[in-house]
């Protein structure tokens, strides 16, 4: 069974909703051993190669999987992105608001997020397992695991207490008839939100390259690792090439 969901942080997850390509001939095709192919999603590793052949007007000509993957490797190695953009990935995220706002900066995606104007957000907020200390190398961003246990314990206690009080205040204000769009102002940036994202494969790889970088925020990296693992299960050969030619981590 292939994984479609991976838990991240304390309450979060990444769920793979669909991977789709304009090449929709998976169902009913036979593999090299003559076994009928069935797939929950209709995207395959070879789809970018099939799309690329439109340049030579031989879109429908049959090729072996090995020939197709050699072409995909050429495309990725030489930065030909358009065929990869023909594959689209839909993901559902549950993540802290401060991470969601970082991910929204990747503008080559469509996002639909749960709205606290229309629904009451659940009593869930993120408490770091390890509380990072300020970097000792002079960097303006980043963290190190350099805080003593008592400082980390104090941080977690204060943060959880603050979030508990702010959430209870939020619920009380809703009960008093305050508009949800104003009552939500009491919620903290580590409160959880949900959204669906649609991004083409090329731009998702660019997203992963940035968010898997060791300098990316720890929590953002955890979500990027989950996305990478999900894609690796469904598009193993493509992600192997991505790791070789694009990741550089």
Bridge partners, 112 (sequence order): 196
Which among 94, 98, 102 is positioned nearest to 121, based on CA atoms?
94
- Residue 229 makes CB contacts below 8 A (sequence gap 6+) with 3, 6
The DSSP secondary-structure symbol of 125 reads B
Q: Yes or no: say if 18 and 50 are a contact pair by the CB < 8 Å rule.
A: no
Distance (Å, rounded) from C-alpha 95 to C-alpha 190?
9
Distance (Å, rounded) from C-alpha 234 to C-alpha 4?
9
3-state secondary structure of 196: strand
* Cα 110 versus chain centre, distance: 13
- Buried b vs exposed e over 153-172: b needs ≥16 C-beta within 10 Å? eebeeebeeebeeebeebee
Distance (Å, rounded) from C-alpha 110 to C-alpha 132?
32
Active-site residue list: 211
């Amino acid at each position: 069974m292939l994984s479609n969901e991976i838990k991240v942080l304390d309450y979060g997850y990444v769920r793979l909703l669909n991977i789709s390509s304009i090449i929709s001939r998976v169902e009913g095709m036979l593999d090299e051993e003559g076994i009928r192919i069935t797939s929950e999603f209709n995207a395959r590793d070879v789809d970018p190669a099939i799309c690329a052949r439109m340049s030579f007007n031989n879109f429908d000509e049959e090729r072996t999987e090995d020939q197709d993957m050699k072409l995909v490797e050429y495309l990725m190695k030489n930065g030909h992105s358009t065929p990869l953009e023909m594959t689209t990935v839909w993901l559902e995220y549950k993540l802290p608001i401060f991470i969601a706002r970082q991910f929204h900066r990747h503008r080559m995606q469509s996002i639909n997020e749960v709205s606290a104007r229309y629904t009451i957000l659940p009593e869930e907020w993120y408490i770091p397992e390890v509380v990072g200390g300020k970097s000792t190398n002079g960097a303006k961003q980043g963290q190190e695991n350099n805080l003593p246990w008592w400082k980390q314990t104090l941080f977690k206690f204060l943060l959880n207490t603050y979030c508990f009080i702010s959430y209870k205040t939020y619920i009380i204000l809703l009960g008093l008839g305050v508009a949800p769009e104003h009552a939500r102002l009491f919620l903290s940036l580590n409160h959880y939100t949900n959204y669906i994202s649609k991004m083409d494969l090329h731009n998702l790889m660019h997203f992963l390259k940035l968010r898997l970088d060791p300098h990316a925020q720890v929590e953002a990296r955890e979500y990027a690792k989950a996305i990478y693992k999900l894609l690796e299960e469904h598009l193993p050969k493509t992600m192997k090439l991505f790791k070789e030619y694009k990741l550089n981590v």
